[in-house]
Amino acid sequence: MMSSDIEAARQLDRHIRSPRQIWLTGAGISYGAGLPLMYPLTDRVFHLLEKNVEDAEAFELVKAVRADLPAELHIEHVLSHFGDLVALAERAKDASAFVDGKRVPKTKLQAAHHTILRHIRDILRWGYIPASKTSAEQEGKPGKPIVRIEHHRRFIRALYKINRAGLDERREAIQFITTNYDTLLEDALALELVPYIDGFSGGAIAGWDEHSFNLLASGSAIKAAITKLHGSIDWYRSGQENGRVFRVRHDDAYPDRSDNNGNVVIYPQSTKYMASREDPFGFLFQRFRGLLSAERQQVLFVCGYSFGDDHIDAIIEHQLLHVDSKTTLVALSKSRTPKLKAWGESSAGERVFVLAEDGLYRGRAGPFFPPTASIVRDWWSFKGTSSLLENGLPADIAEAIE
């Protein structure tokens, strides 16, 4: 009988070459590109709000809202809270909502919300690296961005152009699901000449069109589909185009982008557009559910995501634990988080793999192939993931399963 570690490694090797792949990515894959993780991003936004004189009114509102939330929450929770306040104001007789015991008009709530979005957009467009024990703070600026794309390009090349002999003929388009606002995945696909769709119809300027995903029909030349669950820094809702969402170039004067006429579309909000065809978020989350609910063999790879979003985790858990599910989860995570441990010990355990710093887990078993003084397991990192795709399993594991 084959030992558990050898069997787990052989199954993992097959999954890496699966013809049907879904990749869920989070902020961790963009950290090496010069973009901050969620908490440093939060600190940076608050710093800019406090520093800029023109943001004084917005800063006071944001400070009051933040004081009303648990200390460990980050900028997305603040955005969500502002969305709720705007929704309350829209239903109120005087078009206002309570903040810190005072009635605040909807227009001021929206202005503060838009200001947060603008800062997030600019930070992620130009890049920002907070100071550390070994390096000084780095701030990208217009004309002098510090964002790099080589890590993403390497990842895309590894997925599409390396060690894939005979696979393209039977592989479907790869599904990329991301919580990131940046455009690095899309840009890397474009630079590597991989045809993709993202839910918009058009060119450099494009309008939201959920039907564009139908281009993935059998025989299509499309090789990738991107589902951005939390929106993007180049998405914009136009107040002058009946609330339609566009993907835009940052330096164009159209559509009108003044705060009174629209805003960057980042993170799902409780607005009049939610649950309507003018808002992409409802469709995108439903699409994510649909991809995971397919009753056929497929692999969900997770990289750079910490399993800290209850909404996304619930979708994964519901579909993974479904009695008819044939989805295998391969989580590239520095540690085996409580969520991953629980899933590994569930009825879906045999379909749950975790590639962690301390070794390989399958279900409730592991860690197999732990690191040694001469062997480091970095397969959980974005760089290590690309190496895994390029070269296959680490040499010591490959030798063990031969």
pLDDT digits (tens, 9 = 90+) for 170-223: 678 999 999 999 999 999 999 999 999 999 999 889 999 999 998 887 667 899
Higher pLDDT, 243 or 106: 106
Mean pLDDT of 234-250: 81
Which pLDDT value is given to residue 269? 63
What is the overall mean pLDDT for the chain? Answer: 89
Closest CA to 150 of 383, 385, 388: 383
Coil vs helix vs strand at 199: coil
pLDDT at 273 over 50: no
Contact between 117 and 45 under an 8 Å Cβ cutoff? The reply is no
- CA atoms within 13 A of residue 347's CA, in its CB half-sphere: 10
pLDDT of residue 276: 47
Say if residue 74's pLDDT is above 60. Answer: yes
* Distance, CA of 10 to CA of 164 (rounded, Å): 17
Architecture of domain 4-34+147-401: 3-Layer(aba) Sandwich (3.40)
Question: Taking 50 as the threshold, does the pLDDT of residue 70 lie above it?
Answer: yes
Count the Cβ atoms, other than its own, within 10 Å of residue 289. Answer: 12
Q: Of 268, 283, 289, nearest to 213 (Cα)? A: 283
* Start-end of CATH 3.40.50.1220 domains in the chain: 4-34+147-401
Task: Write phi, then psi, for 48 (nearest 5 degrees).
Answer: -65, -40
Q: Look at the block and give the residue holding tokens 């227009």.
A: 107
Of 263 and 247, the structure prediction assigns the larger pLDDT to 247
Is the backbone of residue 275 left (phi > 0), alpha (psi -120 to 50) or beta? left
Amino acid at position 205, single letter: I
Residue 278, pLDDT score: 58
Three-state secondary structure along 242-291? CCCEEECCCCCCCCCCCCCCEEEEECCCCCCCCCCCCCHHHHHHHHHHHH
Residue 2 has pLDDT above 70, yes or no: no
Predicted TM-score of the model (pTM)? 0.93
Which residue did the predictor score with more confidence, 18 or 163? 18
Q: Would you state the pLDDT for residue 296? A: 83
Residue 243 has pLDDT above 90, yes or no: no
Percent of the chain scored above 70 by pLDDT? 90
- 93, two tokens: 């007789």
Q: Give the model's pLDDT for residue 107.
A: 92
Angle at 326 between CA 268 and CA 283, to 5 degrees: 20
pLDDT value for 1: 37
Question: 275 pLDDT exceeds 70?
Answer: no
Name which of 49-58, 159-168, 347-356 the model is least confident about: 159-168
Over residues 302-316, the pLDDT tens digits come to 999 999 899 999 999
For tokens 């809702």, the residue is 237
How far is Cα 278 from Cα 87, in angstroms, rounded to an integer? 17
> Is residue 277 scored above 70 in pLDDT?
no
pLDDT for the residue 262: 54
Q: What is the mean pLDDT of residues 125-130?
A: 96
Per-residue pLDDT tens digits for 377-386: 999 999 999 9
pLDDT attached to residue 215? 87
Task: Give the pairing of strands 231-238 and 245-247.
Answer: antiparallel
Neighbours of 335 (CB within 10 A): 13
Alpha helices in 68-205 (DSSP H): 75-91, 106-126, 150-160, 184-191
Q: What are phi and psi of 112, to 5 degrees?
A: -65, -40
Q: Are 38 and 27 in contact (CB under 8 A)?
A: yes
pLDDT band of residue 258 (cuts 50, 70, 90) is low
